[in-house]
Structure 1
Amino acid sequence: METIKNAANYVSESISGAGATASKEANKNVAKDSNAGIGTRLNAAGDALSDKVDESGHNAKADVHKEAAKH
């Protein structure tokens, strides 16, 4: 039963990590857009940094759950 729970958590964290990656990339593109206002660009850059932290956290948790599911 624990293996199934760990596998489900792995999938969930992997999906969350992928979502954070997509958001990070979108925010990076806005931050680089010279047609956007400076405030918008600064907010997007900050959001991209936050998304990177989320991405790393979700990927680390996914790895832990993946290893736990193997045992």
Structure 2
Amino acid sequence: MANIGVPGLILILLLALIVFGPAKLPQLGRAVGQTLREFKNSTKGAVDEVTEEFMLEEEPSPVKKNLK
């Protein structure tokens, strides 16, 4: 899958044009773009939450500072 290349990409686009038709391709592209955008935003939110929790665990607590 990593080495599709230009000829393979052209073949895939031609098959999509035949299967979906020229009227549906813009709608299909828009739907795919929205799906990818939502996926990116949700994963970014999850990564931000995990990073924030990790940073909170890394901060020394005031009780530990006073004991040393």
Q: TM-score range by the shorter chain?
A: 0.3 to 0.5
Normalised to the residue count of structure 1, the TM-score between the two structures is: 0.46
Normalised to the residue count of structure 2, the TM-score between the two structures is: 0.48
